[in-house]
Amino acid sequence: MNASLALRSRAPRLAAMLANRRAALGLFLVGLAVFAALFAPLLSPYLPDKPDFVAILKGPSLAHPLGTDDLGRDVFTRILYGARVSLLVGTFSVASALVLGAALGSIAGYVGGWLDSIIMRLMDVIFAFPSVLLALAITAVLGPSLTNAILAIAVVNLPVFARIARAQTLVVRNLDYVEAKRALGFGPVNILTRTILPNIAAPLIVQGSLLFASAIITESYLSFLGLGAQPPTATWGNMLRNSIAFLDLAPWLAWFSGMAIFVTVLGFNLVGDALRDLFDPRET
Amino acid sequence: MLGGVVITETVFSWPGIGKITVDAIFARDYPVVQGAVLITATLFVLINLMTDIIYTLIDPRLSVA
């Protein structure tokens, strides 16, 4: 019943979102990044990892719209392929943190007692570390790779989702419809997955879209420090790192990869803000 | 802020705790990594505690009942 209700109201919500100019801009920027990631091979005639030693550190030109880097690789192509890495990391780290965090948080909130204490104290421990530093430490221990970067960012975001899920569950668990299901003899698993989860989903999704942006930034941090996807894979972070050495000779290397990060993160933040306004009309 | 320190110190080669952490990671010097992360986390928690305390000093409504 809840799902159908959400479905029916989706169309006017999307329309309301597009009416908001900032939200429309956000959706456009996010769409741009997704488009770049999906159609990278079609949009550029070059390969992201193929050096061209005749065209090294060339400025923007018709052949290379955003110039070339120190190995003659086309910067435009690398930025397109870098979008894949960023969106991949954002999607998987936020999705896994959301699923696990929602599960842990709702269980903690619904069951309560010692289980609640154990789960939430564990989350507090993760929360006590500055996020970038914890992600750094985790990738340092596991070894630098894309998968480990995703894992590290997921762990860092886990307590955020767990806290929201727990707080929401505490609100919902004593409401009449949950009480009714309990009285009808449904078990805790059924109540949690079928009744509580759909009703606490909205704030989790909003938080997810906002954390997507910060996941992209953290990924850039990690690959900037050489702890994300390893060369020659193009990521915005390691392009930025690479550009530092040539800041005097070829400043466009830093501009364009930095711009890519900025534009995408701005897009996700705008979409996240719009989603929050939609789901929680009280705050506007 | 304390997370951004790592990037800033690496870019400008400032000899701070962020640079120590990164250098230790690449040198596979795990005790130093652990120590640096632990110190930063402690600072982080203490600073958060201090801001909470200052909040209650500034706004008496927030004081613990």
- Tell which of B12, B17, B23, B37 to mutate to test the A interface (max A CBs under 10 Å): B37
Determine contact: B14 vs chain A, CB below 8 A. no
Report the gap between the CA of A133 and the closest CA in chain B (Å): 5
HSE of B15 in the Cβ direction (CA atoms, 13 Å)?
0
| Mean confidence (pLDDT) of chain A | 84
A194: left (phi over 0), alpha (psi -120 to 50) or beta: alpha
Containing A237, the helix (H) or strand (E) segment is: helix A236-244
Chain-chain contact of B7 with A221 (C-beta, under 8 angstroms)? yes
**pLDDT, tens only, B15-28:** 888 888 888 888 88
Q: How far is A125 from chain B (nearest CA, A)?
A: 10
**pTM score, whole prediction:** 0.82
The distance of A93 to chain B (nearest Cα, Å) reads: 19
State the DSSP code for A60.
S
Contact A228, A219 (CB under 8 A): yes
How many whole angstroms separate alpha carbon A137 and alpha carbon B39? 13
Range among A87-91, A189-193, B1-5 rated most confident? A87-91
User: Which residue is associated with the tokens 């456009």?
Assistant: A28
Partner-chain contact A130 B22, CB within 8 Å: no
Instruction: Flag whether pLDDT at A14 surpasses 70.
Output: no
The pLDDT score that the predictor gives to residue A284 is 43
pLDDT bucket at B54, cuts 50 / 70 / 90: confident
In angstroms, the CA A22 to CA A29 distance is 11
pLDDT digits (tens, 9 = 90+) for A79-118: 888 898 899 999 999 999 999 999 999 999 988 889 999 9
Quick check: B3 and B36 in contact, CB under 8 A? Answer: no
Chain A contact for B11 (CB, 8 A cutoff): yes
Cα–Cα distance, A130 to A113 (Å, whole number): 28
**Stronger pLDDT, A232 or A34, i.e. the higher one:** A34
Q: Which of A133, A225, A227 sits opposite B40 (nearest CB)?
A: A133
Q: Which residue has the tokens 């800033």?
A: B8
Q: What is the pLDDT of residue A158?
A: 94
Measured torsion, CA atoms of residues A37, A40, A46, A51, in degrees rounded to the nearest 10: 20
Facing residue for B3 by CB, picked from A128, A132, A244: A132
Rg (CA), chain A: 22
Asked whether the predicted pLDDT for residue B2 surpasses 70, the reply is: no
Residue of A133, A226, A244 with shortest CB distance to B3: A133
B41 touches A: beta carbon within 8 Å: yes
3-state secondary structure of A268: helix
User: Which among A83, A84, A82, A78 has a CA at the least distance from the CA of A46?
Assistant: A78
ipTM, 2 dp? 0.74
Query: What percentage of residues in chain A have a pLDDT greater than 90?
Result: 22
- A133 and B30 in contact by Cβ < 8 A? no
Locate all alpha helices (DSSP H) within A39-175, ordered by sequence.
40-43, 75-111, 113-127, 131-142, 146-172
